[in-house]
Chain A
Amino acid sequence: MKKVYVNEDWCLACHLCEYYCAAANSGAENMIKAFANGNKPIPRIRVEEGSGINFAVQCRHCDVPLCVKSCITGALSVKDGVISCDESRCVGCYTCVLACPYGCIVTSESSKVISKCDLCMKNNNGDPACVKGCPNKAIVLEER
Chain B
Amino acid sequence: MLEKEGQVRIPAGCAISGFISRDGNRICGDKIVKSISYMHDRSNGLGGGFAGYGIYPEYKDQYAFHIFYDSNESRVETERFLDRHFDVVNLSRIPTKKHPRITNEPLIWRYFVTPLPTKLAASQLDEREFVAQCVININDRINGAYVFSSGKNMGVFKAVGYPEDVGEFYRLDEYAGYAWTAHGRYPTNTPGWWGGAHPFALLDYTIVHNGEISSYDANRRYIEMYGYKCNLLTDTEVITYIFDFLNRKQKLSFEDIAKIIAAPFWSEIDSGKFSESEKQKLKYFRNVFSSLLITGPFSIILGFDGGLMALNDRLKLRSMVAAEKDDMVYLASEECAIRAICPVVDRIWSPRGGEPIIVKLNEKK
Q: Quick check: do A and B touch in the complex, using CB within 8 A?
A: no
